Chains A and B, each alone.
Chain A
Amino acid sequence: MKVSDLIEKLGLTVFAGSGSVSNEISGGYVSDLLSDVMGKAREGEVWITLQNHLNVIAVASLKDLSAIVLVNGITPSPDVVEKANQEGIPVLGTTEPAFSITGKIYRLIK
């Protein structure tokens, strides 16, 4: 499954990185702790989080994650959007909380 399929099936907002939505999704990781994601997330995973600052993009890029999904209606700031576009990291959004969006993503990709 590609990031673009996820966007379409779940009606996610695309805040940034629209040029990279053909990224293939290998799984998902849910965490708001950056070192936890650094240590445990794997290449190609979608990262579901409420963290919304430049380091989130840095972590996603260093770990080659396929996309970031911001929960609870969180909107990224312009500097985050700009960096995500530079790095080619799709930043997506949903008004749903982490629990329900994770459940939906899990059903789609498993």
Chain B
Amino acid sequence: MVKLRYEIEGGNFDLAGGASSQVKKVLKQLNIDPVLIKKIVVAMYEGEVNIVAHAYKGQIEVQIFPDRVEMKLTDEGPGIPDVEAAMKEGFSTASQRVREMGFGAGMGLPNMKKNTDELRIETEVGKGTTLIMTKYLAYE
């Protein structure tokens, strides 16, 4: 089992995607199916950017098992008041500044859902959000 851990800084878009890029390299080295790597990387990038765009700071923990990859993204931030609404394509509370950069389409969470096998969200308004995503390596 391989375990990776990254600290994510809220608001710093220059570094956004750095952790996902590292994980992609490791998955490649482990000879994981490129089709699955793509999906894992899309899901992780969206989660990483959401911490940067919507939270104050966070951590990403990636565990690579023989049969699955588990990503746990934890942040200190505003939390998500209505998870069901947030999951809908097009829903976004992104600021104007963030939108001008091309974020805020409200497609991040739907992308995470589409590209993983399991997505669990635990969130508390005013405290933060934990997202757990699992991708099974044996399928597809």
Contacts and interface: CB of A to CB of B under 8 A. Distances in A.
A39 B13 contact: no
B110 to A, nearest CB: 7
Contacts of A32: 102
A51 B18 CA distance: 19
Nearest to B108: A35
A53 interface: yes
Contacts of A39: 42, 107, 110-111, 114
B16 A38 contact: no
Main SS of the interface on chain A?
Answer: helix
B24 to A, nearest CB: 6
Contacts of B108: 35, 38
Given A36-B107, A39-B110, A43-B38, A51 B21 contact: no
Interface in B96-121: 101-103, 105-108, 110-111, 114
Contacts of B38: 43, 63-64
A43 B105 CA distance: 21
A98 interface: no
A62 B107 contact: no
B78 to A, nearest CB: 19
A35 B103 contact: yes
B54 to A, nearest CB: 13
A38 B102 contact: no
Interface string B68-109: 000000000000000000000000000000000111011110
Given A54-B13, A62-B45, A33 B20 contact: no
A45 to B, nearest CB: 13
A72 interface: no
Contact of A55 (B17, B42, B106, B111): B17
Interface of A: 32-36, 38-39, 43, 49, 51, 53-56, 58-59, 61-64, 79
Interface of B: 13-14, 16-18, 20-21, 24, 38, 41-42, 45-46, 49, 101-103, 105-108, 110-111, 114
